[in-house]
Amino acid sequence: MSVTTVHAYAAPAPKAPLEHTTVPRRPLGEHDVLIEIAYAGICHSDIHQVREEWGEGSFPMVPGHEIAGVVTATGPGVTRYATGDRVGVGCFVDSCRECADCRAGEEQYCTGGGAVMTYNGTGRDGEPTYGGYSTHIVVDENYVLRIPDGLALDVAAPLLCAGITLYSPLARGQAGPGKRVAIVGMGGLGHMGVQLAHAMGAEVTVLSRTLGKREEGLRLGADAFHATADPATFERLAGRFDLIVNTVSANLDLDAYLGLLGTGGTLVNVGAPENPMPVSAFSLIGGRRSLAGSMIGGIPETQEMLDFCARHGIGARIETITADRINEAYDRVVAGDVRYRFVVEAGSFAG
Ligand code: NAP
Ligand code: ZN
């Protein structure tokens, strides 16, 4: 079977509300799988891109890179997946496969032309890519993840971006017993970070604007929870952390947060705000501190993260909506009014 036209929700132009449309999906190639999407998460990156906060976008734009569903057909050469398998797709759907990064399983950093992003990108066939706010998607099997049986598809969808974006810097930063880790911002990414760092065995502190999410933060595994609106927080916690992961979607005073690192500590920035953030050299020199960045994770690491989540019973805390509520959900995400990830039921993309 080959699907050529599928239902989707798209922004027809920059900053425009999303609306029902149809988009083409290519016929199944040798190594392609057809996925019937069950759920698509709403990531703040979807909003940044629809609103062109990262630069010019490609329109119509069908966002969605937190995709969970079921394989309904496979190309003749597919060996990794079969009809009925529960699978996920994250932020990219192809890459050069030949550069050092691709060979190392870090396809997101592909230097052979860059990874093909799941949407707002151009496939290696020259066609625009359309994301997960859709009923079906066709993806090369090498860029598809297996969702373990223990994970429900709705709570698994956000793991494909929010989960891996926190898992990678936490695992690489050796979050574990004896490590003091702070997660800045408890939104979609941050609430995954709290659960993952706790499951890795680290001592976890949440730094949120207010104490409004404190109870939930502690339930998710935080050992401490502080309000960043209170200047005393920065005095009390000075020099405390080994690793800080900043998930905030807006500009922060990075110098203030670097001051919370102990000697040799690292602040990994994963938030991607529209504007540059200044840093004083002295915030880094004093205490030999590092400021780093991290982007999602490669295919092997994403599978490792999904298996880790299944083993530890970790999923996203979600609010499930239908497609007609996406525009309202975008405004609520920007306003910080989401506990903690919106997930769209994909059947509702049909209109
Ligand atoms: P989100 O659900 O909106 O969460 C962001 C959190 O940041 C909010 O819940 C809030 O936490 C805090 N925040 C928001 N505005 C703030 C402000 N003006 N000042 C201080 N804190 C503020 O967004 P998300 O989906 O988790 O994404 C977060 C960021 O990561 C976005 O910029 C997104 O594009 C980026 N991202 C990066 C990667 C990557 O690979 N590096 C991957 C995915 C997303 P509190 O209410 O707790 O303060
Ligand atoms: Zn994302």
The predicted pLDDT at position 3 comes to 52
- Beta-carbon contacts of 342 under 8 Å, excluding residues fewer than 6 positions away, are 41, 42, 318, 319, 320, 321, 329, 332, 333
Among 42, 44, 206, 275, the mutation site with the greatest number of ligand 1 atoms within 8 A of its Cβ is 44
Taking every pair of Cα atoms in the chain, the longest distance, rounded to a whole number of angstroms, is 62
pLDDT greater than 70 at residue 34? yes
Model confidence pLDDT, tens digit, residues 144-179: 999 999 999 999 999 999 999 999 999 999 999 999
The predicted pLDDT at position 337 comes to 95
Among all bound ligands, the one having the nearest atom to the CA of 275 is: 1
How far does the centroid of ligand 2 lie from the alpha carbon of residue 129, in Å? 16
Residue ID of nearest Cα to ligand 1 atom 30: 271
Among 42, 52, 189, 305, the mutation site with the greatest number of ligand 1 atoms within 8 A of its Cβ is 189
Among all bound ligands, the one having the nearest atom to the CA of 53 is: 1
Given a contact cutoff of 8 angstroms between Cβ atoms, the answer to whether 179 and 240 are in contact is: no
273 alpha-carbon distance from chain centroid? 14
**CATH 3.40.50.720 corresponds to the domain 166-293:** yes
The predicted pLDDT at position 351 comes to 79
Which two three-digit tokens encode residue 299?
Answer: 């295919």
Give me the torsion for CA of 211, 216, 222, 227, rounded to 10°: -10
How far does the centroid of ligand 1 lie from the alpha carbon of residue 134, in Å? 24
Q: What is the CA radius of gyration of the chain?
A: 20
**Mean pLDDT across the stretch 7-35?**
98
Q: What is the Cα–Cα distance from 329 to 319, expressed in whole angstroms?
A: 10
How far does the centroid of ligand 1 lie from the alpha carbon of residue 333, in Å? 9
Among all bound ligands, the one having the nearest atom to the CA of 91 is: 2
How far does the centroid of ligand 1 lie from the alpha carbon of residue 250, in Å? 7
Given a contact cutoff of 8 angstroms between Cβ atoms, the answer to whether 37 and 72 are in contact is: no
Among 53, 168, 248, 319, the mutation site with the greatest number of ligand 1 atoms within 8 A of its Cβ is 248
pLDDT greater than 90 at residue 266? yes
Which two three-digit tokens encode residue 85?
Answer: 């398998």
Q: What is the Cα–Cα distance from 24 to 152, expressed in whole angstroms?
A: 28
Among all bound ligands, the one having the nearest atom to the CA of 64 is: 2
User: For ligand 1, what atom is nearest to the CA of residue 213?
Assistant: 47
| H or E element, residue 333 | helix 326-334
The residue ranges of every structural domain in the chain are 4-161+297-350, 166-293
DSSP string, 8-41: EEEBSSTTPPPEEEEEE-PPP-TTEEEEEEEEEE
What amino acid occupies position 170?
A: L
> What is the third-level CATH fold of 4-161+297-350?
Quinone Oxidoreductase; Chain A, domain 1 (3.90.180)
User: For ligand 1, what atom is nearest to the CA of residue 186?
Assistant: 47
pLDDT greater than 60 at residue 273? yes
How far does the centroid of ligand 2 lie from the alpha carbon of residue 162, in Å? 6
The predicted pLDDT at position 235 comes to 98
User: For ligand 1, what atom is nearest to the CA of residue 340?
Assistant: 2
The mean pLDDT value of the chain amounts to: 97
- 3-class secondary-structure state, position 203: strand
CA separation, residue 334 to residues 139, 234, 330 (Å): 30, 25, 6
How far does the centroid of ligand 1 lie from the alpha carbon of residue 251, in Å? 10
Ligand 1, residues at Cβ distance < 6 Å: 43-45, 48, 161-162, 165, 185-190, 208-209, 213, 247-250, 270-273, 294-296, 333, 336, 338
pLDDT greater than 80 at residue 1? no
Could you give the residue ranges of the DSSP H alpha helices within 36-96? Answer: 44-50
Which two three-digit tokens encode residue 7?
Answer: 């239902």
Q: What percent of the chain has pLDDT over 90?
A: 99
User: For ligand 1, what atom is nearest to the CA of residue 269?
Assistant: 41
